[in-house]
Chains A and B, each alone.
Chain A
Amino acid sequence: MLLALLTDIHANREALDACLAHAAGRKPDRYIFLGDLVGYGADPGYVADVVKDFVAQGAIALKGNHDEAAVGSAAGMNETAHAAIVWTRAQLDEQQRRFLAGLPLSHEEGDRLFVHASAFAPDRWGYVTDEFEAAKSFGATRCRCTFCGHLHVPAVYHVALTGRCGAFTPVPEAAIPLLPQRRWLAVLGAVGQPRDRNPDACYALLDTRNAHLTYYRVPYDVEGAARKVREAGLPISLSARLLAGR
């Protein structure tokens, strides 16, 4: 089965549409959205509706910290993120709010775990930034492979039988075999707000038959998305970071 993995869309309609069109050409069997559908970007309602439709057709969608903040408490957010969330709340209708509020924190199938931030206390939104944080996540799940987002910077961690943890920066379009004798933690890149100095949208495809994971970078109308952020009156820095990809 071919799974399309999309995370951190952050209300970026242009990036989401580009990734979905790119993925559709590869005919995935299922879609999994790993959270942070909204926040930062100018089209939260559109993104919530699109993902809701996918879920109605069998897709899995998880909750991210921005989704939670949009329908509940925004405690712990920085000033910019908070300002965006206040704006976002006003854009969502009741149905969209209910959809976001009902999203689960994680999803398990077979030896795979999908979660927005980390397997370690998913509701505390920790960042998998290094081998130490990866080891914490590995320790919190029995699943062999974990897929998460939240960081907006693609990375792949792996642990051998000998217990050593390694990190790797995935190369776009080079399929990584998630070898069966190891455990793997894949931090997916962001669809709607990349932060690895590459403004192109990022998503991944997982082929479960041979456990091959492939990251993709998709160019999209980043100027258009950035302009809409400015026109919506959202913090100007959110527009600039889209253009710079950081």
Chain B
Amino acid sequence: MASRQLGAGTVIDGFELHELLHGGGMAALWRVTHPDFDCPLVMKMPFIGWGDDPGAIVGFEVEQMILPRLSGPHVPRFIAAAFSDHPYLVMERIQGSSLKALVADLPRPPEEVAAIGAKIAFALHDIHRQHVIHFDVKPSNVMMRDSGEAALIDFGLSRHERMPDLLAEETRLPVGTAAYIAPEQVHGVRSDPRSDLFALGVLLYVFLTGEQPFGEPTTTAGMRTRLYRDPVPPRALRPDCPPWLQEVVLRCLEVDPRRRHQTGAQLALDLKNPEQVRLTERAERQRQDRLAAVAKRWLRTRGGDAGLPIETVSAHLAQAPIIMAAVDLAPEFGSLADALRLTVQRILSIQPAARLTCVNVLKTALLSIGGPENTGGANPYLQRLVELKAWARPLAIDEDRISFHILEAVDPAAALVDYANRNHVDHIVIGARGSSTVRRYLGSISSHVVAEASCSVTVVRVPGKAH
């Protein structure tokens, strides 16, 4: 209770309170400063006292447990926490704006929705890689940093797979925000990172149409409706929504997590590359399913099938990596291109949920005069794309597992590494030619990639041709 009588000027453990930023809900948020920290700070103080919601305390504990274990641009930086007379949590005050601000001005243009979605998908992938599932993705919990990244806030309902799940003990009721909660969360499953991708799908739907796909139910029974009732397709509400975006959003909203994108990085890849999204029946849907189909699904949900729980978040992510093949298509490269394909094929055969992105670099001069279409002959960009697709054809993998990208760059190695970083690539496969005088002095592209990449790199050579 004491925390409610605090005011500007109060100093707690060296943190000086300035102004109350937010006073409602389960916690008060104060802008604070500390002589040891330059960055803007915010102090979160839960309301704890007689008559207060015990959920506020547990949520505070969860955040206190999880936030110090997260790092990177997609979360607020943890500064300090204490549970004494005035329990508090101090973190970086993110410079940027809350996505909630946009809610008053819906719907948004499809391109903007896709761009926001890709940023959030990356943010989710980043926390999933750190063993955390957010479980409460919604506009008010997403900040867009001035520097461009999406940052997730409020980890009060989250789960760290290597820590005790304090919320699971507290309640057997579904934990989350009713409008955004994933079907498996309604069943009480708190171990699937794809639940966050479902919530992101709801967010994208809301931003695209201005409507809630599943309403805002107030009961568990109401939340269960999403297990059998499909949402109105976005294009029925918003005719200018491109089919590819409807495809992506409805895939996020699949009841069975196995039918969604398997990772945030894979979802982001789709949102950033519309032309490569494989369209299915989802893209064409014009209306909700007929009642007979809905009734059939309803009957199935009576069995309480929650699907198979996944083993661990890290194991799940490891099963669904993004593999990047850096393909050089120079004529003298024939046998190496074959060797590269063979290596990629081996990787894909043991990782059926992997996605392959084939990348080729079109080297440009530092100062190019006129676009590629001015070179007289065929468009070199298009020609490369055709060749790249031809290279991949013998792999015979499903369209929705593969994409193609031609990068234009002065420095091919830097372009490849940059592409891999931006798209959260897990594994680069690249060919290396034999040695030559130039490469001995300047270093090869593959050795630059090996040195600079932040993921695993496999270098493929043609046996016997190394020297």
Contacts and interface: CB of A to CB of B under 8 A. Distances in A.
Of B57, B161, B162, the most chain A CB neighbours within 10 A belong to B162
Interface stretch (A34-42, A45-53, A54-62, A178-186): A178-186
A174 interface: yes
Interface in B142-166: 161-166
Contact of B61 (A165, A171, A174, A179): A179
A158 B166 contact: yes
B93 to A, nearest CB: 24
A158 B170 CA distance: 11
> Which range contains the number of A residues in contact with the other chain?
10 to 19
A21 interface: no
5 contacts: A162-B58, A168-B163, A176-B164, A177-B64, A179-B83
B65 A168 contact: no
A118 to B, nearest CB: 20
B373 interface: no
Contacts of B164: 156, 158, 166, 168, 176
> Which range contains the number of B residues in contact with the other chain?
10 to 19
A171 B83 CA distance: 25
Contacts of A177: 64-65, 68, 163
A162 B170 contact: yes
A174 B161 CA distance: 10
A181 B61 contact: yes
A171 B166 contact: no
B166 to A, nearest CB: 7
Contacts of A181: 57, 61, 83, 87
Contact of B169 (A160, A174, A180): A160
A15 B445 CA distance: 48
B54 interface: yes
Contacts of B83: 179-181
Given A179-B61, A179-B83, A181-B61, A160 B170 contact: yes
Interface in A97-132: none
Contacts, number: 48
Nearest to A174: B162
Given A171-B162, A174-B162, A179-B83, A166 B168 contact: yes
B153 to A, nearest CB: 20
A177 B64 CA distance: 9
Contacts of B65: 177, 179
Given A161-B54, A168-B164, A180-B83, 17 more contacts: A156-B164, A158-B164, A160-B58, A160-B61, A164-B170, A165-B169, A166-B164, A166-B165, A166-B168, A168-B163, A171-B162, A174-B163, A176-B163, A177-B68, A179-B61, A179-B65, A179-B83
B162 to A, nearest CB: 4
Interface string A146-161: 0000000000101011
Interface of B: 54, 57-58, 61, 64-65, 68, 83, 87, 161-166, 168-170
Nearest to B66: A177
B163 A161 contact: no
Contacts of A160: 54, 57-58, 61, 166, 169-170
A162 B54 contact: yes
A162 B164 CA distance: 16
Main secondary structure of the interface of B (DSSP, over half): helix
A89 to B, nearest CB: 41
A179 B64 contact: yes
A156 B391 CA distance: 53
Contacts of B168: 166
Given A156-B164, A176-B164, A179-B83, A166 B57 contact: no
Q: Can you list the 7 inter-chain pairs with the closest CB atoms, starting with the nearest?
A: A166-B169, A174-B162, A168-B164, A171-B162, A180-B83, A162-B54, A164-B169
B304 to A, nearest CB: 23
Interface of A: 156, 158, 160-162, 164-166, 168, 171, 174, 176-177, 179-182
Of B64, B165, B166, B168, the most chain A CB neighbours within 10 A belong to B166
A155 to B, nearest CB: 10
Nearest to A162: B54
A6 B58 CA distance: 31
B68 to A, nearest CB: 8
A15 to B, nearest CB: 24
A171 B162 CA distance: 6
B67 to A, nearest CB: 11
Contacts of A165: 169
A162 B48 CA distance: 12
Contacts of A164: 169-170
A149 B162 CA distance: 21
B293 to A, nearest CB: 40
Contacts of B169: 158, 160, 164-166
A164 B57 CA distance: 13
B387 to A, nearest CB: 47
Contacts of A182: 61
A182 B57 CA distance: 11
Nearest to B160: A174
Nearest to A164: B169
B188 to A, nearest CB: 14
Contacts of B68: 177
Nearest to A180: B83
A168 B170 CA distance: 14
A159 to B, nearest CB: 9
B166 A166 contact: yes
Nearest to B58: A160
A176 B65 CA distance: 8
Contacts of B165: 166, 168
Contacts of A162: 54, 57-58, 170
Contacts of A174: 162-163
A92 B161 CA distance: 45
A171 B87 CA distance: 28
Nearest to A171: B162
Contacts of B170: 160, 162, 164
A111 to B, nearest CB: 13
